[in-house]
């Protein structure tokens, strides 16, 4: 038996992809490890959902251990750590940069936005946005600027 999507549903799905970007393939869930008392981490998870990512939030008091096991360099630390597609995403990295990482598949361990720059995804607010960099890092201590915002 062949399964077909009714035309109205297929059109609705296409509009959703055009508005939010491609939906990640099965197995591409973004898992966010965060302190249960941190509000900006949840705001970042919402930003990622709004950009088409399937997000699972894991509250933990052991963020130091999570970062260490994920290989996040201490100098690149932020408040939350995520994994997706075999990469580590540290801090308030914009969804477009994560999508680019997954599309291009560079030889990196992950991306990081050190600290909590005002105006980055999840850190929007009444204060003027700061300029910040998204840093690509490998598993050997190497880093490079991946994007500037």
Mean predicted confidence (pLDDT) in 86-90: 98
Mean predicted confidence (pLDDT) in 121-137: 95
Q: Taking a C-beta distance cutoff of 8 angstroms, is the pair 72, 93 a contact? A: no
Mean predicted confidence (pLDDT) in 37-65: 96
Q: How confident is the model at residue 30 (pLDDT cuts 50, 70, 90)?
A: very high
Strand partners, 134: 147
CA distance 89 to 70: 9
pLDDT at residue 32 greater than cutoff 80: yes
The domain locations on the chain are 21-148
Cα dihedral sign for 10, 86, 133, 60?
A: positive
CATH, domain 21-148, list 3.40.30.10, 3.40.225.10, 3.90.550.10, 3.40.50.2300: 3.40.30.10
The pLDDT value recorded for residue 27 is 46
The pLDDT value recorded for residue 85 is 97
Where b means 16+ CB within 10 Å and e means fewer, 52-81 reads: bbebebeeeeebeebbeebebbeebbbbbb
């Amino acid at each position: 038996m062949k399964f077909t999507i009714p035309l109205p549903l297929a059109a609705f799905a296409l509009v959703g992809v055009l508005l939010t970007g491609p939906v990640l393939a099965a197995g591409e869930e973004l898992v966010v490890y965060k302190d249960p008392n941190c509000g900006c981490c949840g705001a970042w998870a919402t930003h990622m959902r709004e950009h088409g990512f399937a997000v699972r939030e894991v509250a933990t008091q052991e963020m130091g251990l999570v970062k260490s096991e994920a290989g996040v360099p201490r100098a690149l630390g932020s408040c939350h750590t995520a994994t997706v597609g075999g990469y580590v995403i540290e801090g308030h990295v914009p969804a477009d940069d994560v999508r680019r990482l997954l599309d291009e598949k560079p030889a990196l361990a992950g991306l990081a936005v050190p600290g909590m720059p005002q105006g980055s995804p999840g850190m929007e607010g009444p204060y003027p946005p700061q300029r910040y960099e998204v840093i690509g890092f490998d598993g050997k201590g190497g880093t490079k600027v991946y994007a500037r915002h």
